[in-house]
């Protein structure tokens, strides 16, 4: 392999090791650093149980030796001096093994609460951080991929907390004690064979596992890709049916699963190779020690009990050595899974509150856009120095073709993104100087496409205000003209709306969205084509509700149908990120410009629709 490639590979391995240690350092505080005193007490108590279990475990083969010597007539040990017969020694051996298991299980029972608490706090932190990331991040990532990364990461943390603390360290201690016992009780050569066997086993295990980790990483990528395609396809179920693309989606999913299948096969084959190599190394070490002991028994320097004791120790370390291979593989793979999740936690939030950010104080709701500039991509500006005011209690409408920047203005007002130039103020308070929570509590949004939670109608309306009473929920539903529809359903307000609200029609979903905004009762309203999914009659009813809700509030409404905003206090016509016309409805018609032509065209279309409906 060329030196450049070796350097690159070494660099990748170093980065991977650094990432693994970073992940471990990130997990440990969840295990120990906590304000609840019972957490540390439980960890210490579990460690005590662990030490007791290991001491008993290492002492057990001595009891086994005494029992064999007693039965073979070679008993000149302390057990005989205490008057213990072969049966009593055998019982003591059984009690010792039972106590080893009992203390181990007690340790797990004590520690499980600590592990689950740490797991819950980490999952909560990840979930909270996901909501702190910007809309830009969520638009560019796929929900299925994120959910799978979090799922694998949390499982990896659970495994790491359970096994790293109580398996790897104690196993090293136990192997060291066995080597010392062999050197003191028998001969240094026994200890040398044990240490060489352990070293060879660990080196082989680590080497092969590093190779398997790369395969696991590729398998994770294929798994994530397949999961993304599956979720994306299911979320777009109706679109798939519209275009008769069920077979096409199945083929896309199967193509992704083929990649996963190939990596899974490699994982299984590499595991078989690893297990075979581990068995070979352990068997060689076991046979070597047993042959050495057998020769000394024949020479009369060791008893049969000593031979059995050597065998018991070798079997005792063989089992944890096999477990060490499994633990290391799983820890290494868990670190890969966790690394992805901690990378997610390291993702900085694009929109952050200032350290001295104050709470937004809405006195009247005066909104001011002062030479606002914005671009999703620096090479493609969206807003080019937009300036306008929404006086307290007035309504300003934004109209214009798609891509003119209407929805972007709404997202900037809600601070989904940060302006790249100029400033947005509410009652002379720059949005960058106030907390996001207080800003978002002060603005009610009815989007063009209302997305509902997979819960009941009651829950979705009450989402507008968590402490709302049933009477307030019903009042909001009546104001949104959906109460009668809800009562017509068999389960009424307890009717489940399905994934993303798919059990309801577009108009019904929109009215639920309007109801929860009415329930929120904010001082500022942002209506992003709020009635676009409604029929003409329902739209007129809703417009009355929205108009009533807007009384005394500052309202920015983004509209496609000009008839819905004809009574706005001011209408802004946008095109390519600039305001090209502004004024009241009558003033804009008199200018005979862009707005007037849009009004004429829509009026003609509505007349045609009315004539067709009458026919």
- CA-angle at 371, arms to 369 and 373, nearest 5°: 100
Q: Does the domain made of 20-346 have the CATH classification 1.20.1560.10?
A: yes
Among 325, 40, 31, 36, CA closest to 158:
31
Coil, strand or helix: which one is 377?
strand
Mean pLDDT of each 10-residue bin along the chain, 615 residues long: 49 61 67 62 76 78 74 56 59 77 78 75 75 64 62 72 67 77 82 86 81 78 82 81 82 85 85 85 86 85 82 77 67 73 72 85 90 86 91 90 86 88 92 90 84 86 87 89 88 83 78 87 85 65 73 86 86 91 91 90 73 60
d(CA 476, CA 214): 56
Say how far apart CA 510 and CA 531 lie, in whole Å: 7
Could you give the CA distance from residue 554 to residue 389 in angstroms, rounded to a whole number? Answer: 10
Sequence-separated (6 or more) residues with CB below 8 Å from residue 299: none
Those residues whose C-beta lies under 8 Å from the C-beta of residue 151, and which sit 6 or more positions away, are: none
Q: How far is CA 586 from CA 407, 556, 590, 592, 601, in A?
A: 25, 19, 6, 10, 16
Express as a percent the part of the chain with pLDDT over 90: 10
CA distances from 570 to 55, 172, 361, 547 (A): 83, 76, 25, 15
Residue 321 CB-density burial (10 A; 0-12 exposed, 13-18 middle, 19+ buried):
buried
Check residue 182 and report its DSSP letter: I
Specify the pLDDT at position 534: 62
The domain segmentation of the chain, as residue ranges, is 20-346, 367-442+522-614, 452-512
What long-range pairs does 54-60 form, CB within 8 A, spacing at least 24?
54/170, 54/173, 54/174, 54/177, 56/96, 56/99, 56/100, 56/103, 57/100, 57/174, 57/316, 58/174, 58/177, 58/178, 58/181, 59/96, 60/93, 60/96, 60/97, 60/100, 60/312, 60/316
Q: Which two tokens stand for residue 422?
A: 């100029």
Q: Counting runs of H as helices and runs of E as strands, what totals does the chain give?
A: 20, 10
pLDDT of residue 139: 58
In this structure, are residues 487 and 467 in contact, taking their beta carbons and an 8 Å threshold? no
DSSP code per residue over 328-345: HHHHHHHHHHHHHHHHHH
Distances (CA, A) of 600 to 391, 592, 594: 29, 10, 10
DSSP output for 73-140: T---SHHHHTT--HHHHHHHHHHHHHHHHHHHHHHHHHHHHHHHHHHHHHHHHHHHHHHHS-HHHHHH
Taking the C-alpha atoms of residue 55 and residue 52, their distance in angstroms, rounded to an integer, is 5
Fold classification of 367-442+522-614 (topology level): Rossmann fold (3.40.50)
- Tokens 């660099």, residue located: 11
Q: Which residues contact 85 (CB under 8 A, 6 or more apart)?
A: 70
| Sequence-separated (6 or more) residues with CB below 8 Å from residue 479 | 515, 518, 545, 548, 549
What does the pLDDT read at residue 369?
93
**The pLDDT of residue 398:** 93
Q: Over the stretch 482-524, which tens digit does the pLDDT of each residue have?
A: 888 889 988 888 888 877 677 887 778 888 888 888 888 888 9
* Sign of the four-CA dihedral 42, 48, 52, 54: positive
Structure tokens at 76: 């000149």
Residue for token pair 């209407």 = 406
pTM above 0.85, yes or no: no
Residue 414 in contact with residue 526, Cβ under 8 Å? Answer: yes
- Do 20-346 and 367-442+522-614 come out as alike in CATH topology? no
Q: Would you state the pLDDT for residue 449? A: 76
pLDDT at 606: 67
């Amino acid at each position: 392999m060329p030196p450049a490639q070796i350097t690159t590979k070494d660099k990748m391995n170093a980065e991977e090791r650094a990432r693994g240690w970073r992940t471990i350092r990130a997990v440990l505080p969840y295990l120990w650093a906590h304000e609840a005193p019972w957490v540390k007490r439980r960890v210490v108590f579990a460690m005590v149980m662990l030490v007791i279990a290991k001491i008993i475990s290492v002492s057990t083969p001595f009891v086994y030796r005494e029992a064999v010597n007693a039965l073979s007539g070679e008993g000149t040990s302390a057990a005989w001096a205490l008057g213990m017969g072969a049966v009593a020694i055998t019982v003591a051996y059984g009690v010792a093994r039972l106590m080893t298991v009992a203390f181990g299980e007690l340790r797990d029972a004590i520690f499980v609460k600590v592990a689950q608490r740490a797991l819950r706090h980490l999952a909560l932190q990840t979930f909270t951080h996901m909501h702190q990331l910007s809309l830009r991040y969520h638009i560019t990532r796929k929900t299925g991929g994120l959910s799978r990364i979090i799922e694998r990461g949390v499982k990896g943390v659970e495994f790491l907390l359970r096994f790293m603390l109580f398996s790897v360290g104690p196993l090293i201690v136990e192997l060291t004690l066995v080597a010392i016992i062999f050197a003191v009780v028998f001969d240094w050569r026994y200890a040398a064979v044990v240490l060489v066997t352990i070293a060879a086993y660990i080196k082989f295990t680590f080497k092969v596992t590093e190779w398997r980790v790369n395969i696991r990483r590729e398998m994770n990528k294929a798994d994530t890709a397949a999961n993304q395609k599956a979720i994306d396809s299911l979320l777009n179920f109706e679109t798939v049916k519209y275009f008769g693309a069920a077979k096409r989606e199945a083929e896309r999913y199967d193509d992704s699963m083929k990649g996963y299948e190939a990596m899974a096969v490699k994982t299984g084959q590499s595991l078989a190779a690893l297990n075979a190599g581990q068995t070979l190394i352990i068997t060689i070490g076991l046979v070597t020690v047993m042959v050495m002991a057998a020769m000394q028994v024949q020479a009369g320097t060791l008893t049969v009990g000593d031979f059995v004791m050597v065998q018991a120790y070798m079997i005792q370390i063989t089992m944890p050595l096999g477990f060490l291979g499994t633990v290391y593989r799983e820890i290494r793979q868990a670190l890969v899974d966790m690394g992805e999740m901690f990378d997610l936690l390291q993702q900085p939030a694009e929109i952050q509150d200032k350290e001295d950010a104050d709470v937004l104080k809405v006195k009247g709701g005066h909104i001011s856009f002062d030479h606002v500039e914005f671009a999703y991509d620096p090479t493609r500006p969206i807003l080019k120095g937009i300036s306008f005011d929404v006086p307290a209690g007035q309504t300003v409408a934004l109209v214009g073709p798609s891509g003119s920047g209407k929805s972007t203005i709404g997202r900037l007002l809600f601070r989904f993104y940060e302006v790249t130039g100029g400033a947005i103020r509410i009652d002379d308070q720059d949005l960058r100087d106030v907390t996001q929570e207080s800003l978002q509590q002060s603005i009610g949004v009815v989007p063009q496409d209302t997305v509902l939670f997979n819960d009941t109608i009651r829950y979705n309306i009450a989402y507008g205000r968590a402490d709302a009473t049933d009477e307030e929920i019903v009042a909001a539903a009546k104001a949104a003209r959906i109460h009668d529809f809800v009562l017509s359903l068999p389960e009424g307000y307890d009717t489940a709306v399905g994934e993303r609200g798919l059990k309801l029609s577009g108009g019904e979903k929109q009215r639920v969205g309007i109801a929860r905004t009415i329930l929120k009762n904010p001082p500022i309203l942002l209506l992003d084509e709020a009635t676009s999914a409604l029929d003409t009659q329902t739209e007129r009813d809703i417009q009355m509700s929205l108009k009533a809700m807007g009384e005394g509030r500052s309202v920015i409404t983004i509209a496609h149908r000009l008839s819905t905003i004809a009574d706005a206090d001011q209408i802004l016509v946008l095109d390519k990120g600039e305001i090209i016309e502004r004024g009241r409805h009558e003033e804009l018609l008199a200018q005979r410009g862009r707005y007037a032509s849009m009004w004429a065209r829509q009026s003609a279309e509505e007349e045609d629709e009315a004539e067709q409906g009458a026919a």
